[in-house]
Structure 1
Amino acid sequence: MKIKAALAAATLLAASGQLAAKPFCGELVNAFGPFDYRTPDAEQLHLVEQAHFTEEVEQGLKGNTGTLGADLDYTLRAFPNHTRALETLAKVALRQKAVQLPGGKYPVECYFERAVRFVPDDGAAHAAYAGYLYRVGQPEKALPMLEKAVELDPENPSINYNLGLAYAKMKKYDPAVKYARKAYELGFPLPGLKNMLTAAGKWSDKTP
């Protein structure tokens, strides 16, 4: 009996270990997809967007085939790194003060986790995740994500700008100036970060 009990306990431990190892935010396998939003098949993307990511869905007004959350869920299970859908998801969740949207299969943050898990080399997906974390008040988690985004996509002006802005808000002015200059060299149009650094006495157009 003792041997049987020990075997049963070992089986339970093994099963619990497998459950613990399974991602909390679900497996990425999907009936349709998953597909990389950066290099989509035009027909596959059209099939998803014409039904589940219409203009009204993208604006966060209402769902098309069901609830808004359900349409975003479908879009993001088919294209986990669909950055426009991620932005809409964040906007709606913040507006509704919701951790999980009605009709969504996962909590909001899970969709961002799934995006970077699916395409760990996608700087835009990391930047979208960082943006969401900043907006929900988790800068300590957001900054490394944004640093990773710049590492992956160093010539992206928006990502450089946002990292510079994050450092400026932390009063870490040397890296803030570094990424601000990079953003403006790449053509970023908004002067907000430059104005912030100028007001702090850290910006000069005469110095490199």
Structure 2
Amino acid sequence: MKLLCHISFFLLIIALSFQAYSQQNSICGELKGPHFGPFDYLERVQLRDKLEIVEAYHFSQDVEKLKGNVPSVAADLSYTLHAWPNHHRALASLAKLAIREKAVNLPGLKYNVECYFDRAFRWRSNDSIVRSIYGSYLSKVGRANNAIEQLEIAVRLKSDNATAHYNLGLLYFDKANYDKAQFHAESAYALDFPLPGLRNKLIRAGKWKK
């Protein structure tokens, strides 16, 4: 009887997970469709010709720097992220645009901002940089606990992600978890992260151990 209960519970979890995945797909769209791509940004060197096509027409320097009207910039970012769901620089620009406009639903986007990160995760779940960008975005919009969760995933995926270590250190410092702040500070600076802010915070608080 206990075995049967365990099996039933396991099957229920699978069913609920599949339902949640299906619902997220319906909200944020399928990755493959009648459009150029999708391509993996982690393989951009091998796929340079395909990347150049998209960046030449939809991810110019002006778009990356968010110059121009919001609908036009957002539409170009949307196209770029449909073709390259885990395009790091485009995701970073999209996050900056959302923060600047204080909105996740922007004219020119097919989906809300959160969806583009969801699509990137579904496309390449092992991309540490995407997790790092999302964690930074969450931190800047006041969702510290969610940010920590994403940044912890980022450093588990890639232990030499200096930016993720640094941002984790800042978040743990703000929570007065100085041991973890110190650990991630040491990790970031061992990887030659250039900004001294985290170390200075720990020094001023009397928590820097080196």
**Superposition TM-score, scaled by structure 1 size:** 0.85
State whether structure 2 residue 61 is matched by structure 1 residue 29: no
Runs of 4+ in structure 1 off by over 3 angstroms are: 16-23
Look at both structures and tell me which one has the larger radius of gyration over its CA atoms.
1
Paired residue for 1:47?
53
Residue 62 of structure 1, CA deviation? 2.0
Matches of 2:43 and 2:106, distance apart in 1: 28
Matches of 1:93 and 1:51, distance apart in 2: 22
| Distance change >3 Å, CA 21–CA 129, structure 1 → 2 | closer
My pick for the range that moved more, 170-179 or 27-36, is 27-36
Matches of 2:98 and 2:23, distance apart in 1: 27
- Which has the bigger relative contact order, CA under 8 A and spacing at least 6? 2
Matches of 2:154 and 2:147, distance apart in 1: 11
The structure that is helix-richer by fraction is 2
My pick for the range that moved more, 92-101 or 32-41, is 92-101
State whether structure 2 residue 164 is matched by structure 1 residue 159: yes
The aligned amino acid for 2:67 is L
- Residues 149 and 159 of structure 1 are in contact (CA less than 8 Å); yes or no, is this contact kept in structure 2? yes
Residue 181 of structure 1, CA deviation? 0.5
The aligned amino acid for 2:170 is L
Matches of 1:19 and 1:163, distance apart in 2: 31
- Residues 59 and 90 of structure 2 are in contact (CA less than 8 Å); yes or no, is this contact kept in structure 1? yes
Residue 127 of structure 1, CA deviation? 0.7
Aligned residue-pair number = 189
Deviations 1:16-56 (A, max 9, x none): 99964744211111321111111120010000000000010
State whether structure 2 residue 80 is matched by structure 1 residue 67: no
- Residues 113 and 129 of structure 1 are in contact (CA less than 8 Å); yes or no, is this contact kept in structure 2? no
State whether structure 2 residue 180 is matched by structure 1 residue 171: no
Alignment root-mean-square deviation, CA: 2.0
Paired residue for 1:92?
97
- Residues 166 and 198 of structure 2 are in contact (CA less than 8 Å); yes or no, is this contact kept in structure 1? yes
Q: Equivalent pairs: percent with the same residue?
A: 47
Matches of 2:22 and 2:117, distance apart in 1: 21
Deviations 1:34-86 (A, max 9, x none): 111111200100000000000100000027xx711110000001111111111
Residue 98 of structure 1, CA deviation? 2.0
Unmatched segments (≥5 aa) in structure 2: 1-18
Matches of 1:18 and 1:76, distance apart in 2: 20
Paired residue for 1:127?
132
Paired residue for 1:101?
106
User: What is the DSSP-based 3-state SS (H/G/I as helix, E as strand, rest coil) of the residue aligned with 1:147?
Assistant: helix
Unmatched segments (≥5 aa) in structure 1: 1-15
Matches of 2:163 and 2:20, distance apart in 1: 41
